[in-house]
Amino acid sequence: MRFSFEVLVSLKPGLSDPQGKAVASALPTLGWTNVSGLRVGKHIALDVEAADEATARAQVEEMAGRLLSNPVIEEYRILEAEEA
Amino acid sequence: MSDGAPRIGVITFPGSLDDRDAQRAVTYMGGVAVALWHADHDLRGVDAVVLPGGFSYGDYLRCGAIARFAAVMDEVRAFAERGGPVLGICNGFQILCESGLLPGALIRNRSLRFICRDVFLRVETSQSVVTSELMTGETVEIPVKHGEGQFVAREDELRRIDDEGLVVFRYASGDGVTDDAENPNGSIDHIAGIRNARGNVVGLMPHPEHAVDPDVGPTGGQPLFASLLAAAMAGAGA
């Protein structure tokens, strides 16, 4: 079976996020002065062929930890899988 | 172990830019440059390895994230564990951090701008394969050119880096004073380059290979290559 996953990668809280800061400082120029806590991250979508969802998810966990994110500076979240 | 001039390997990854400059710098300083290929499980018996600057694999995902899984990196890791001298410059530094051979990581410059200019580096230790010919506190002038050179590390890692004296270079003024104005990318504690505990693996963002020939700019890279060649001659990685 094939399962679709989405992985969200973001910089760890506390680490400076220059991209997020730049985007946040552009918003007030468009009139939004009520925004805070803006962080920019990455969205990675992938399909995994596996016998069941738990196996597929375990593999995505490993991919996320070893390649998709750098544990020194980033954290990741795997969104609910869907059968593709 | 070499009989004559030390043989310095320079790895070319897809997207490496400064491999030829690194080879030229090695030759200029009296070494023998040996071209190494990312896909080979082979260091061709070199005495030291340079991971050059550039944009390996387009810097997709993160700088150095894909290059660290290249075939040649297995050999680099084994070479480093035997005590062989390894120098990562710019993208090469990012690859060494991604592969865990050096602590910390490099993220987008604080300014979000790509920077390209000459900077001064203050030598923080002479106990490394690129600073053995330098004195602590001395400064060298070398160019930087990068968009993602802001050094960061977890707090516990940073403490270890400090405690074990792993900082090799800090951005500073010509007379060796660190200041935010001299820090081009916002690196924590003005860190420009670090080493592993043993001192045989060093990574730095500035480009010593662009600073050996007086015809084209500052020559602050010369003592770094002289040190690397001396370490290679000592044959630690053989």
The DSSP annotation for B170-232 comes to: EEE-TTS---GGG-SS--GGGEEEEE-TTSSEEEESS-GGGSS-GGGS--TTHHHHHHHHHHH
Say if A75 is an interface residue toward chain B (CB within 8 Å). no
What's residue B83's pLDDT?
96
Residues of A whose CB is below 8 A from B62: 70
Tokens representing A45? 């979508």
Decide: helix, strand or coil at residue A29: helix
Chain A neighbors of B185, CB-CB under 8 A: none
Contacts of B39 (CB under 8 A, 6+ apart): B70, B71, B72
- Quick one: pLDDT at residue B3? 60
pLDDT tens profile B37-65: 999 999 999 999 999 999 999 999 999 99
B189 touches chain A (CB under 8 A): no
Phi, psi (deg, nearest 5) at residue B157:
-65, -40
Average of per-residue pLDDT across A27-39: 93
Token pair listed for A18: 């220059």
Rounded to an integer, the average pLDDT of B107-120 is 94
Phi, psi of B37 (to 5 degrees): -115, 135
- Whether A19 and chain B come into contact, CB under 8 Å, resolves to yes
Contact (CB, 8 A) for B191 and B98: no
- Locate the chain A residue with the closest alpha carbon to B60: A68
B207 in active site: yes
Per the CB < 8 Å rule, is A22 touching B65?
A: no
Work out the angle at residue B235's Cα, subtended by the Cα atoms of residues B102 and B222, and round it to the nearest 5 degrees. Answer: 70
State whether residue B136 sits within 8 Å of chain A by CB. Answer: no
Q: Is B209 assigned a catalytic role?
A: yes
Residue B92 has pLDDT above 60, yes or no: yes
Nearest CA in chain A to B156: A72
Collect all residues with Cβ–Cβ distance below 8 Å to A31 and sequence separation of at least 6: none
B109 touches chain A (CB under 8 A): yes
Chain B residue numbers with beta carbons less than 8 Å from the beta carbon of A70 are 62, 65, 98, 105
Q: What is the DSSP string of A37-78?
A: ----EEEEEEEEE-SSHHHHHHHHHHHIIIIIS-TTTEEEEE
Amino acid at B205: M
A11 to B62: CB separation less than 8 angstroms, yes or no: no
Q: Which of the residue ranges A29-33, A48-52, B3-7 would you say has the lowest mean pLDDT?
A: B3-7
Q: How far apart are CA A66 and CA A32, in angstroms?
A: 38
pTM assigned to the model:
0.92
For residue B224, CA distances in Å to A13, B29, B221 come to 36, 10, 5
Q: Which residues pair with residue B118 across a beta bridge?
A: B143
Chains A and B form CB pairs within 8 A to the count of 40
Chain B nearest C-alpha distance from A66 (Å) = 9
pLDDT tens figures, B62-78: 999 999 999 999 999 99
Residues ≥6 apart with Cβ < 8 Å to B203: B87, B88, B89, B92, B93, B94, B96, B97, B102, B193, B194, B195
Q: Please tell me whether the interface predicted TM-score (ipTM) of this complex is above 0.90.
A: no
